[in-house]
Structure 1
């Protein structure tokens, strides 16, 4: 495992961090604790020493899960990060209440890296006016947190003022080869580093969209490279190529992801990609931009939808329809999955959207979700949906499926 130094405190952190937002789950959606615990501990045994979670991950179960996974001496081997759910904070006292609850949920005396979660300009101004800077100073002084930071999902122009507003130790930004000019972007990465902040990266694979399956047009470009690397390796190596990056979080959801990410992390030196390789990645980025219709990362901040729409699943299928030559299967899968047949649940169709706007406020990508859901509905729910649902019921009614 390679390590990089957190600038302000000198912590030697593994370049690969374990992100606990996309843990393996059972059919009912709950965390598969046995597999997830094995993954977390195997990662730590192989050098990972930074573990990241947050209040809402896995519908509130990620933090207590990690308390159990980090038992038996594993807590002492890692720096633990979690986040204040600032959208739930109504007054100064709430900040203490949430932090104390998180300490209890995580079964720890202190949070090594504590972030104000998912800031944009308006949420920063709100939490700032409620006294968050004074709260962070107090929590650091009394030892409940060690390092203070924030995660960012706002506009590019609003990032630097937040950096300059407080003596932050670190920040967390979305960064991958499709998002150089999105949110904080490359400019924000460089600015934060110039101010002495450590930079933790989220969404290096853009919610898995840069991993398998890969569109044929994209794979054709990857296959031109002299070095044979998987799409995941190209994406991660591109982020780690930046010397300003301290830690890259990976939301690993199966043991194979852990193995692959650990292997890549052992070779993730800064400035190790050649100019020829960087140009190749740029060509891949341009091709993805041509193919992708919706910039959804699958973070699920928009969920649950009050009308039952599975928004990330709708967008995933819509993007896949435009990226892959697999229309018949995807039309069937939409009927089966969103029609509740595979899940044994109520329907989760895009057409159930009532444009309440809750998802728009929650989306860190600032997507016009209702408008996009209308396009999904027009694409997948036209003539033939009823027949596909009936066929799916027959296809998936066999007990062996």
Structure 2
């Protein structure tokens, strides 16, 4: 760890609570969101009908195309001098896809209540984000009982219609793995799972782990199709397998790895079918814990699965998502990934494996939006004298070597305006 980053870490320790407690809280929130949604199936929604309802997920007519080299480069050129040096980066894709140009800051959609008001807030935020220099959007089928995916789709469709962006300028990511509940449905939970998933052949009860998660190939493919409809997109740019490590605490390792191998094969086929452009793995613990941990997953092994699935080195496993922030720096410092016989931190390992790293939780679930020590804030003079704690935390993440894009939740326009203010500042990678 560099001296500067060691100082930053020490400066933050006094303002953050236990790392383990915060990690557990995030994992609990993610699982509870699925459980809450499942329990809500028994109660019909009391929310009044929206004046502008979301389209039904079965509505045909998906937006064609996907993010590509020319479009994303054109977007960066149009933003031009409004973005500081280093804000736009090359997302390594290779092959026929070509590299993408992506913003160093992305919009996440995990937080917020399951209401139309929050939907509208996200639409405003995402639309404004497109205007100020953000072309990377992250969501998941289980976020806010599908409402987040629907809001992203609605935002992009409107932005395209209004001429704010073109489809090939924006990178849209989503995830599958957790049970997704459609907020418009109302049915008894056991009946919902039995009828919609088990009897439909999407998974067996023994494949439904912890009451919230599943890696059966039919289930993941079903979730992918559902996400395409929710987003209204013919092709999803990056499809992440969502937190596969949570099954490792309950299911035998070889069983979980076998499921992942099968899912990768199906995702390679989805690329051929034009349903996704590339895929990845989104984790919380898997890539930063030691190999002796139950939750450990080897990046190198995942790449080998992808090569096997593609039948060559020309695979489409191109991204991983990991938590990284001022307080939680494991992926930059802990040499736990074994790459060709060498033990390296995740960020170094990803570079060797040609994987793009998306950093999540840069504000550590809100713990870094206030109270950062002056010693830490002084490390970011490029942000100006009025820099906020949140801006410093985001700058730390996006200027760390090996981080492609930093995604943070922005459900409020005020959050977007504060966070996006750093776009005009230099984002030169630090040592």
TM-score range, shorter chain: 0.5 to 0.7
Task: Report the equivalent of 1:170.
Answer: 319
Task: Report the equivalent of 2:89.
Answer: 4
CA shift, 1:94, in A, is 1.8
The 1-side partners of 2:240 and 2:166 are apart by 19
Q: CA RMSD in A?
A: 2.7
Alignment match of 2:230 (pick from 98, 105, 112): 105
Unmatched runs of 5 consecutive residues or more in structure 2: 1-82, 179-211, 291-295, 307-316, 336-344
The 2-side partners of 1:174 and 1:82 are apart by 16
Question: After the TM superposition, which residues 203-352 of structure 1 pair with which residues of structure 2 at under 5 Å, given as runs?
Answer: 203-212=361-370, 214=371, 218-222=372-376, 227=381, 228=385, 229-272=387-430
The 2-side partners of 1:137 and 1:226 are apart by 42
Question: After the TM superposition, which residues 1-400 of structure 1 pair with which residues of structure 2 at under 5 Å, given as runs?
Answer: 1=83, 2-8=87-93, 9-23=98-112, 25=113, 29=115, 31-72=117-158, 73=160, 74=165, 76=167, 77-85=169-177, 88-89=213-214, 91-120=216-245, 122-123=247-248, 126-130=255-259, 131-155=262-286, 156-157=289-290, 158-161=296-299, 162-167=301-306, 168-181=317-330, 187-212=345-370, 214=371, 218-222=372-376, 227=381, 228=385, 229-272=387-430
Retained in 1: the 8 A contact 2:91–2:101? Answer: yes
The 1-side partners of 2:140 and 2:398 are apart by 23
Unmatched runs of 5 consecutive residues or more in structure 1: 274-401
184 and 152 in structure 1: CA distance in 2 versus 1, 3 angstrom threshold: farther
Retained in 2: the 8 A contact 1:222–1:231? Answer: no
Residue-pair matches, total:
266
Asked which structure has the greater RCO (Cα within 8 Å, sep 6+), the reply is 2
CA shift, 1:60, in A, is 2.5
Retained in 2: the 8 A contact 1:113–1:149? Answer: yes
Q: Which digits, 9 at most, give the CA deviation of each residue in 1:99-158, with x for residues without a partner?
A: 111111111111101000013274585454231121111111111110110111225232
TM-score (normalizing by structure 1): 0.60
SS of residue paired to 1:70 = helix
CA shift, 1:234, in A, is 1.7
SS of residue paired to 1:199 = strand
CA shift, 1:80, in A, is 0.7
The 1-side partners of 2:318 and 2:378 are apart by 41
TM-score (normalizing by structure 2): 0.56
CA shift, 1:159, in A, is 3.9
